[in-house]
Amino acid sequence: MPSILEVNNLVKKYGDFTAVKGISFDIREGEIFSLLGPNGAGKTTTISMLSTLYDPTDGDAVIAGHSIKKYPMAVRQVIGVVPQDLALYEELTARENLEFWGQMYGLGGKPLASRIDEVLEQIGLTDKAKNRVKTYSGGMKRRVNIGVGLLHKPRLLFMDEPTVGIDPQSRRAILDTVKALNAQGMTVLYTTHYMEEAAELSNRVGIIDHGELIALGTQDELTRQVGQTDTLLLHIGEEEDPEALSTALRGLPGVQNADVSDHTVSIITPSAEDILAAVVAKANERGIKIRSLDIREPNLEAVFLHLTGRALRD
């Protein structure tokens, strides 16, 4: 497959601060490519440059044959953008929003009207199209936000953390929409800090941290880098002290690392099965009750931890 996007050494400085430090990657026509990284990694800055909103400080990118620096207007015809923060007119109805943005993409008349019907169908808001966006739930607004980016059937769709801050049901709907769009032939650049989303959606993943692309490849290629490690997740009751448990577990042989998030202790180990008995015994000894446990094979979270020494969400 040929590349629809080639990024060459893209740099963005805000004053003295370098938010994106010379990243390069390419996206092939028809794939879903995820940029996975924690808050402040430089995902939005990268997308802003690729969508011709910011001038890169250095480097360039070529989208469908057009340089983002030299031919921004040609690039804008090819791309659709779903910004991280909602960018809608709340006083307008969903349909009025779609009409306005459709016209900004140069559409109009009957073709636009029927395209709006299709998009409303796709985002599941046909019934509510005549209500003002300000009356919508967060999830519905997110879906309109996505719909706007689809109107002109872009070859390449940028989606910047489209599932942030919404309920699981809406999230599911959005992930399914992304897959459906991709199945229809749309290439997608998807950014997220949810490892699961990157894993579920993408053909290839780029991991970005502090403005640098620290890993790039398919999920298999990336997890292989980590070596043969498992993640063992221990879910404990709310009344228990996870810090105490993780501290105790760190001393056990075979435990490479133990980390806490909410009421879960995650342990990185070469083999979860081998240490399981010892872990449970240790918890009993401390009087901490384990409610349930999960074993995860190597995943992107582990890759990130391996590369940076930090959890993806901190």
Partner 1 sequence: MRKILAIIIKDAIMRFSGFSELLFFIILPIIFTFLLAGGTPSGDEDARIRLLVVDEAQTALSAQIVSELAASSAVRPEVVSRADAEEQFSQRRASSIFIIPAGLDTASLQEGTAAVDFRQQPNNLNASIAQRAIQTALRRVSSAVSAANTAVSQREEAMPFASDAEKAAYFDQSLELARELQEDTPQRVTVIRAATPDQVEYDPRANSSAGQLITWVFIPLFGISELFAYERATGTLRRLLTTPTRKATYLLGTISGQVLMAIVQMLLLVGFGILVMKLAWGRDPLALAVMLVCSALAAAAIGSAMGAFVKTSGQANGLSIMLGMVMALMGGCWYPIELFPPAIQTFVKVLPTTWAMQGMLDLVLRGGGLVDILPEAGVLLGFAAVFFAVGVWRFRYE
Q: List the one residue out of 267, 245, 265 whose CA is nearest residue 257.
A: 267
Taking CB within 5 to 8 Å according to partner kind, which of Mg ion, partner 1, ligand ATP, none is near residue 42? ligand ATP
Q: Which amino acid is at 34?
A: S
Draw the binding track, 218-257, toward ligand ATP (x: CB under 6 A; -: no contact): ----------------------------------------
Sign of the dihedral defined by the CA atoms of residues 68, 63, 23, 151, in that order: positive
Residue nearer to ligand ATP on the CB measure, 37 or 206? 37
What DSSP character marks residue 93? B
Which of 84, 126, 131, 247 contacts ligand ATP by CB under 6 A?
84
Q: Find where tokens 């938010």 sit.
A: 19
Q: Kindly identify the residues of this chain, within the stretch 166-225, that bind ligand ATP according to CB under 6 A.
A: 193
Taking CB within 5 to 8 Å according to partner kind, which of Mg ion, ligand ATP, partner 1, none is near residue 91? partner 1
Which of 18, 34, 51, 257 contacts partner 1 by CB under 8 A?
51
Q: List the one residue out of 32, 92, 41, 62 whose CA is nearest residue 208.
A: 41
Q: Kindly identify the residues of this chain, within the stretch 109-138, that bind partner 1 according to CB under 8 A.
A: 132
Q: List the one residue out of 266, 195, 259 whose CA is nearest residue 232.
A: 266
Q: List the one residue out of 279, 252, 253, 268 whose CA is nearest residue 305.
A: 268
Rounded CA-CA distance 205/195 in Å is 10
Q: Which stretch binds Mg ion (CB under 5 A): 60-68, 77-85, 99-107, 167-175?
A: 77-85
Residue nearer to ligand ATP on the CB measure, 209 or 240? 209
Which of 79, 156, 178, 205 contacts partner 1 by CB under 8 A?
79
Residue nearer to ligand ATP on the CB measure, 48 or 97? 48
Q: Kindly identify the residues of this chain, within the stretch 11-50, that bind partner 1 according to CB under 8 A.
A: 48
Rounded CA-CA distance 283/35 in Å is 37
Quickly count: other Cβ atoms within 10 Å of residue 188's Cβ: 24
Residue nearer to ligand ATP on the CB measure, 3 or 84? 84
Rounded CA-CA distance 24/52 in Å is 17
Which of 10, 32, 36, 37 contacts ligand ATP by CB under 6 A?
37
* Distance, C-alpha 283 to centroid of its chain: 35
Shortest distance (Å) from residue 38 CB to Mg ion: 10
Beta partners for 28?
A: 3
Residue nearer to partner 1 on the CB measure, 133 or 215? 133
Q: Interface with partner 1 includes 91 (CB under 8 A)?
A: yes
Which of 9, 14, 106, 172 contacts ligand ATP by CB under 6 A?
14
CA distances from 164 to 86, 201, 300 (A): 11, 16, 19
Joined together, the tokens standing for residue 17 give 């601060």
Which of 103, 218, 225, 256 contacts partner 1 by CB under 8 A?
103
Which of 88, 205, 226, 267 contacts partner 1 by CB under 8 A?
88
Three-state DSSP class for 298? Answer: coil
Joined together, the tokens standing for residue 277 give 């008995």
Q: How many residues does the chain have?
A: 314
Q: Interface with Mg ion includes 44 (CB under 5 A)?
A: yes
Chain residues in the site for partner 1 (CB under 8 A): 48, 51-53, 73, 76-77, 79, 81, 83, 85-92, 96, 99-101, 103-106, 108, 132, 148
